[in-house]
Amino acid sequence: MLVFNLLLSIFGPALNTDMVHVPAGPFQMGCSAGDVLCEADEGPEGGMRVDVPGFYIDRSETSVAEFRACVEAGACERPFDHRRTHYCNYDAPGRDDYPVNCVNWNLANQYCTWRGARLAWEAEWEKAARAGTDTPYWWGQAPADCTRAVIDPGGPEQPDTETDGCWRDLSWPRNSFPANPLGLHDMIGGTSEWVANWYAEDAYVRLYAAGDLHGPAKGVRKVIKAGSWDEKPRAQRVSNRFSKPVTGNRDLYGSNGIRCAMDEAAYPADSGTPTE
């Protein structure tokens, strides 16, 4: 117990999270072979070979309750809550285990830093989302739908908000659907997740494939990965990219959430055995 308390004083809340280990090695990043929906910023069809060091990443998206602990510790600013709009989960009755949303990049970064962790790099995020697969979705070529993820399935002659969140116009509790082969939940659907990189249209080819996983050094908007509860199936593809300013009109961030990562060397050795 003495050792645990010492580690807790050093590493703080990071000891209490459930993280999955992603081993070092290359993967094919970017536009999947045969994916006709790719945009120019997803690189050439078939992807680019990108080497990624080993790292850890949260099994689940950050919950409302987890983020509230950071707010109560004075380390995170309070996000928009459900009184602003019904789809913001913070402090909404019964939504403590929903993913926190309505957060800009600065709030996401505050939370992961408080945890003793960090936001994932885009290449890390995509490698984790693919989980050893090379198709547009980790389960294959079939588009995302409401049997696999919390998305906006769309529909002919239906108002756009009517189909958000699989007809709930709201996100769902975390882990409502099966995990990918690495054991990670909601890498497709749920909330879209901030990563650490600034956005550059040619980042896959110019930076990541050349070994620079942390670039570009500056920019105007940060990258967001994963389609969310209010995005159509084409936006749920693992190579799809969004970008938004780090701060701005708070109504921009209703679909955006958090998943933290950590370097192998930073992971506390005595915090338990993470899933491989």
Taking the C-alpha atoms of residue 48 and residue 232, their distance in angstroms, rounded to an integer, is 25
pLDDT score for 159: 63
Q: Across the strands, what pairs with 122?
A: none
pLDDT score for 160: 67
pLDDT score for 170: 93
pLDDT score for 7: 38
Chain centroid to Cα 226, Å, comes to: 6
**CA distances (Å), origin 141, targets 112, 126, 137, 191:** 33, 16, 6, 21
Instruction: Transcribe 51-105 into DSSP letters.
Output: EE--EEEESSPPBHHHHHHHHHTTSS-----TTT-TT--TT-TT-TTSBP-S--H
At 233, which amino acid appears?
P
**Token pair belonging to 166:** 């699989």
**Beta-strand relationship, 260-263 and 256-257:** unpaired
CB 61, CB 94: distance < 8 Å: no
Nearest C-alpha neighbor of 198 from the set 210, 190, 208, 188: 208
Nearest C-alpha neighbor of 144 from the set 116, 180, 108, 113: 180
Domains of the chain plus CATH, in order, are 22-266 (3.90.1580.10)
Which three-class secondary structure state does DSSP give residue 250? helix
pLDDT tens sequence across 135-171: 999 999 999 999 999 999 987 666 666 899 999 999 9
CB 30, CB 130: distance < 8 Å: no
**Which regions of the chain are under pLDDT 50?**
1-16, 273
Q: In the chain, count H helices and then E strands.
A: 6, 10
CB 98, CB 175: distance < 8 Å: no
CB 139, CB 131: distance < 8 Å: no
pLDDT score for 251: 81
What are phi and psi for residue 180, nearest 5 degrees? -75, 175
Taking the C-alpha atoms of residue 212 and residue 230, their distance in angstroms, rounded to an integer, is 32
Tell me, yes or no, if the pTM score tops 0.75: yes
**Token pair belonging to 17:** 């999270």
Taking the C-alpha atoms of residue 157 and residue 136, their distance in angstroms, rounded to an integer, is 27
Taking the C-alpha atoms of residue 48 and residue 201, their distance in angstroms, rounded to an integer, is 14
Taking the C-alpha atoms of residue 233 and residue 228, their distance in angstroms, rounded to an integer, is 10
pLDDT score for 250: 80
